[in-house]
Structure 1
């Protein structure tokens, strides 16, 4: 990668995403960093950071947004696509106007649409970093006959489905890429650990006190988390690529997660077919 980077950070208006965007902007002063979320942050501390609004729970808005990104880039391409958007909520299944659970739309489906639409404008050695939980996903944690959890939804199952399908999809993209042989983009699923951010604001009032105690005891700052994830991604991907692997799972210290399950071709096809089916159905929704 050149020192003049172009990075897009969705979920970059606060928390971990904001810290990652600021870290890139600081380390690469000639870079261009676009941060996106629903609302523009009160403070943008670096002149090379730009803001572009998006509701990352809406597939149709994401489609329009990626069109704007591609137009604005022109002949230029992205070196980083980073996605940290998410929500911490105790609410049950809450569907968007497009028929997708809001939590799953933010944590999983929207991120996959962003990747699919922006693949043509990624550098051949770009890094795609999805932040959620690169440690705890596995095929055994999926309800295979109800992947979008319309019938068997719970907070636990929603979390495991978003985490596990994300593990599958980074392997899917890497496999697709190897078949085409045209690029060496690396797809990373990262686990941030416990981070002192404002994500706990979505908790009921009676849980906020215990959560704040946990934060003080175990949490790292968003800046420290950003440093771990960005530095770790650089190191882990270099090691993996020497072995011909272009997907990685990274833990809260930026280390590679050992012994991750390699999903079968059949499992990858099931997850990818399901993912595009849900997304394309949402894009056709007129509600």
Structure 2
């Protein structure tokens, strides 16, 4: 059986570690792990890994990428999305008019799911790496979901985290009736503190060396994080199938996050409707 995975944001850090782990685990069978991002990694440790360029903040770029990927006709078993940005800047819009943080952390992830879901295997896994802990419907400004008028760094984080929570439940609920073993599973994962290059973007140069030494001691390695998130996903797939539930929020140990809010149908409809309105308005613009 052929195994196929796509890891967006997989050029470094957590995403790269997850891509390498998936490639290693499936190297005995025909398989491919496509690492997607801006810059090709210097090395790939496994022959079944390949690189595809994508600016994951661009909705039109994502649509072109997914159209090309689907044209191969191959089924997809894993879709992992860890793309993100760490910045203290205020609202900074992409050329498409979406805040770059929200484009990377939320809208682009949902467009990737929407476009690639039709070619995913019946028991495929979709993993969003952001923050499976803190999302909640009460944190949303419901009449300004894209924060055109109420933007702050904290609110952008609240909205991206919470709307991703909503959408893993939305996608799970929209699956057709099928045996439990043939259901796709949707995960929102919290990686915790991980020693990745992203921190260098906000740390002054003169502090980077001492901070890097501290990080090696205090933070989890990307490899350990990848192991926990992927193993935790598989455990949740088994446990949740027995409960008839096909979405999960997992913590940095791979364990289920307790007491997550169950979003109402009305809330899920509002979030999904808003999401497609924003994305499809961009896609409707002719180049």
TM-score bracket for this pair, using the shorter chain length:
over 0.9
Q: What is the match of residue 205 of structure 1?
A: 204
Q: What is the match of residue 18 of structure 1?
A: 16
Q: Distance in 2 between matches of 1:208 and 1:248?
A: 37
Superposition deviation, residue 44 in structure 1: 1.3
Q: Distance in 2 between matches of 1:206 and 1:65?
A: 35
Q: What is the match of residue 51 of structure 2?
A: 51
Superposition deviation, residue 213 in structure 1: 6.5
Change (3 A) 1:154 1:34: same
Q: What is the match of residue 174 of structure 2?
A: 176
Q: Distance in 2 between matches of 1:229 and 1:92?
A: 31
Query: Structure 1: which 5+ runs fail to align?
Result: none
Q: What is the match of residue 141 of structure 1?
A: 139
Query: Structure 2: which 5+ runs fail to align?
Result: none
Which of these residues, 42, 64, 78, is aligned with residue 80 of structure 1? 78
SS of aligned partner of 1:119:
helix
Superposition deviation, residue 201 in structure 1: 2.1
Superposition deviation, residue 55 in structure 1: 0.6
Q: What is the match of residue 68 of structure 1?
A: 68
Q: What is the match of residue 115 of structure 1?
A: 113
Q: What is the match of residue 190 of structure 2?
A: 191
Q: Do the aligned residues in 2 keep the contact of 1:130 with 1:190 (CA within 8 Å)?
A: yes
TM-score by length of 1: 0.94
Q: Distance in 1 between matches of 2:158 and 2:241?
A: 28
Superposition deviation, residue 285 in structure 1: 3.1
Superposition deviation, residue 218 in structure 1: 2.6
Say whether residues 1:266 and 2:262 are aligned partners: no
Q: Do the aligned residues in 2 keep the contact of 1:196 with 1:215 (CA within 8 Å)?
A: yes
TM-score by length of 2: 0.94
Runs of 4+ in 1 over 6 A off after TM superposition: none
Say whether residues 1:98 and 2:100 are aligned partners: no
Q: Distance in 2 between matches of 1:18 and 1:208?
A: 25
- Deviation per CA, 1:193-249: give whole Å up to 9, x if none: 000000112215279558647624431000000000000100012101100000000
